[in-house]
Structure 1
Amino acid sequence: MTRLVHKELAGGIATITLDSPPNRNALSVRLLGDLAEHLEWALAEPKARVIVLTGAGPVFCSGADLKEQRTSDAPVTASFPEVLSLIWESPKPVVCRLNGTARAGGLGLVAACDFAIAPLTASFAFTEVRLGVVPAMISVPVLRRLQPRAAAEYFMTGEVFDAARAVEIGLLTRAVPPEELDETVAHYARMLVKGGPEALAITKRLVREVPAVPFEEGLRRMTELSAERFTSSEGQEGISAFMTKRPPRWVPEGS
């Protein structure tokens, strides 16, 4: 049976590609199964330092496979929470390279990633309410990215918005001309592989958790963490590499 998701590893970067263009990379049972398997591979592979999630064809992901859903009594996206958790909780940075438009559930994938870069020609919409359903599962990562007013506007109207607006409201990191997409994604990936693996995983948690911690408690905890990291083996290697003007051992050769 043909795989609906493909993987590739080069230069410390694991690229995972949704490859079901005939149905616009819709979230079918098979695609979600393949995606979960490939994400688990990337997380377990020591040589994979950064994960890039992208799609084949003109659409990144159109959301749930509605044709498949019509013939199934159970939700076809029953395994979607597992996929979202694998991305969200990944200790390795995850960059979403949107090859094109995204709708509904596809925006859950976008929001779960740490970085999201799209061409300016891409468009987006939370179309669920127009089908009489709701953006339930994807609201968990999406509402952690979107401005509250924008979330209410687009969740409730289903209106299409462009990539520039997606950046403005926090859904995307960057929107660039199509011809600059690959180089922009590569730029982020090259920068990320230079960070210490442990330091990146901890910093990813800091970005999410520290704003909710009371100020004085935050200072106390972060002072302890700072001292711990400076004396860690990874921290000592990074300092030694800086002082001797060489790349740290964790940087893939040629990066």
Structure 2
Amino acid sequence: MDVSMDSAAGGDLLVRREGAVLRLTLNRPQRRNAVTDALLRGLRDAVKAASEDDSVHVIVLTGEGDKAFCAGADLTPGDTPFKPDYARLQTPLGELSRAVHNCRIPIVGRINGLCMAGGMGLFGLCDMAVAVDTAKFGLPEVKIGIFPMQILTTLRDLIPPRMLNEMCMTGRPIDAATAFRLGLLNRVVPFAELDHAVEGLIAELLAVSPIALRRGKYAMRAVESMDFHQMMAFTESAIPSMIQTEDAREGLAAFNERRTPQWRGR
């Protein structure tokens, strides 16, 4: 397995490539992996680069250490996302969210601990998530006089409305078991089993057609704002091009020949 390691945002983001898997690790454990503008821009750039690389099939997002996935924005003076900049038309979190929305690669969240505020925004950007059983999820912004404005964009279709209202308006967190019951998590495991559970999910994603995943995720994003008739027309028109891909032909042949398909990603 080819392994390469790079860093961005002054070392606050670790970028690790292992074959078809890109691993992005928030590397600020001393600050509970709180994000800065630079760190958000590093994530944005990494996602954009992966989106243009057909050899990347899965992205994994996690935090360094065993305490926190991401505690939110770094609120200390300095490079904080809350530093006023009235000339800025788009925020780094918004830029990252747009990059993820346009990304056709499955993103798996490895939630290794506390997930709060801006961390919930990153969590909401993931397509699937596995969490430790001690993880906490919360939107405590009201406790410091603000509100999770941008984060609502990624959470409004993920968290049931009444629960989202309660989390936003009271700042009270929920535990991993509750998050799982609400459908926010795919797996909840003890910390010792976290990597095994994440790797199992990655293996399942790597076993299927990468072009089917890319086209499928594109379609899932495209129909979000469509009504029923628009969705039906869009998906109907997507079928002919889908079945003409090399992977579709290989998948059908492998099924009929009772063998494992050899995906080419085309």
Measure how far apart 1:212 and its partner are.
Answer: 6.3
Q: Distance in 2 between matches of 1:194 and 1:85?
A: 28
Measure how far apart 1:23 and its partner are.
Answer: 1.1
Query: Alpha carbons of 1:70 and 1:223: their partners in 2 closer, same or farther (altered >3 Å)?
Result: closer
SS of corresponding position for 1:201:
helix
SS of corresponding position for 2:99:
helix
Q: TM-score, normalised by structure 1?
A: 0.87
Structure 1: tracts of 5 or more residues without a match? none
Q: TM-score, normalised by structure 2?
A: 0.84
The equivalent of 1:74 in structure 2 is 85
Number of matched pairs: 251
Q: Deviations over 1:184-225 (max 9, x none)?
A: 111111111222223112322444555765555544543333
Q: Deviations over 1:32-70 (max 9, x none)?
A: 222222222322333211000011022111111100349
Give the conservation status (yes or no) of the 8 Å contact 1:119–1:177: yes
Give the conservation status (yes or no) of the 8 Å contact 2:250–2:261: no
Structure 2: tracts of 5 or more residues without a match? 1-8
- The partner residue of 1:88 within 75, 88, 101 is 101
Measure how far apart 1:229 and its partner are.
Answer: 1.8
The equivalent of 1:102 in structure 2 is 115
The equivalent of 1:144 in structure 2 is 157
SS of corresponding position for 2:11:
coil
The equivalent of 1:62 in structure 2 is 71
Give the conservation status (yes or no) of the 8 Å contact 2:124–2:158: yes
1:247 lines up with 2:245 in the alignment: no
Query: Alpha carbons of 1:203 and 1:62: their partners in 2 closer, same or farther (altered >3 Å)?
Result: same
Q: Highest relative contact order (Cα 8 Å, sep 6+), 1 or 2?
A: 1
SS of corresponding position for 1:9:
strand
Q: Distance in 2 between matches of 1:74 and 1:66?
A: 15
The equivalent of 1:125 in structure 2 is 138
Amino acid in the other structure paired with 1:8 = R
Q: Distance in 1 between matches of 2:240 and 2:84?
A: 54
Q: Distance in 2 between matches of 1:45 and 1:176?
A: 32
- The partner residue of 1:48 within 53, 56, 72 is 56
1:11 lines up with 2:22 in the alignment: no
Q: Distance in 1 between matches of 2:181 and 2:34?
A: 26
1:204 lines up with 2:217 in the alignment: yes
Query: Alpha carbons of 1:71 and 1:220: their partners in 2 closer, same or farther (altered >3 Å)?
Result: closer
Show the 5 A alignment for 1:228-247: 228-244=241-257, 245-247=259-261
- The partner residue of 1:25 within 13, 18, 33 is 33
State the superposition RMSD in angstroms.
2.6
SS of corresponding position for 2:35:
coil
Q: Deviations over 1:87-134 (max 9, x none)?
A: 233100000101111110100000111001110111111011111011
Q: Deviations over 1:123-166 (max 9, x none)?
A: 11101111101101111011121101110011100002101111
Query: Alpha carbons of 1:237 and 1:7: their partners in 2 closer, same or farther (altered >3 Å)?
Result: same
Measure how far apart 1:181 and its partner are.
Answer: 1.2
- Matched residues, percent identical? 32
Amino acid in the other structure paired with 1:198 = I
Amino acid in the other structure paired with 2:71 = S
